[in-house]
Amino acid sequence: NAGVTQTPKFQVLKTGQSMTLQCAQDMNHEYMSWYRQDPGMGLRLIHYSVGAGITDQGEVPNGYNVSRSTTEDFPLRLLSAAPSQTSVYFCASFGGEGGYTFGSGTRLTVV
Amino acid sequence: GNSVTQMEGPVTLSEEAFLTINCTYTATGYPSLFWYVQYPGEGLQLLLKATKADDKGSNKGFEATYRKETTSFHLEKGSVQVSDSAVYFCALRQAAGNKLTFGGGTRVLVKP
């Protein structure tokens, strides 16, 4: 089915480790974004991209990097994980009148 | 900047009860307004939307009306079911740009 695919679904990291959360969409959407979800705080925008080769910071970008080499993929990198990055991460793409499509999320725990 | 405020949960209801979740917003211009629903273990799904003042969005028995004068977009359902148990998020998108700003979410639990 068309949509947004996130991997992995679950991950446990030790403080200081690095990892990449993968996000891929097959709807040819130009706009993609990463959110983190924390209890009582809704979803907060980390980074977003308006097209291949173009990225920008959102509300809470510190500790995260992104790149957009293709329209389909928008990986999120944690360079040195911290316990404060324990959260559920959602990738989303925007398709105009079709609205946003969200992935099923990655639950990350940093110990 | 933009912000969305929605009532804190959890909201616990009996089946067939009336549900209201309040949502107010702060934004410049005329944003589009959305309600998203998140079922346990899943991502967010669009429930309904409204793009201009006095528009009413509706889906699956849920309704919300874009009230510019009170900057509100309250979600209502006349008769909830156990399957409506989920977390509901109010969100806005500024007219210029594609960023979504979310409220904190409201957990709804419907008991048989």
Q: What pLDDT shows up at residue B40?
A: 86
Residue B8 has pLDDT above 90, yes or no: no
Q: What pLDDT shows up at residue B94?
A: 83
- Report the C-alpha gap between B82 and A41 in whole angstroms: 25
Q: What pLDDT shows up at residue B110?
A: 97
- Of B41, B44, B104, which is closest to A40 when you measure between CB atoms? B104
pLDDT tens per residue, range B36-93: 999 988 889 999 999 999 999 999 999 999 999 999 999 999 999 999 999 999 999 9
* Residue numbers of chain A with a pLDDT score lower than 50: none
pLDDT tens per residue, range A48-70: 999 999 999 999 999 999 999 99
Nearest to B47 by CA among B106, B111, B3, B110: B106
Q: Do A103 and B43 touch (CB under 8 A)?
A: yes
Q: What pLDDT shows up at residue A9?
A: 94
Q: Do A104 and B42 touch (CB under 8 A)?
A: yes
- Report the C-alpha gap between B109 and B92 in whole angstroms: 24
- Report the C-alpha gap between B48 and B65 in whole angstroms: 10
- Of A31, A41, A50, which is closest to B104 when you measure between CB atoms? A41
Of B111 and A40, more confident:
B111
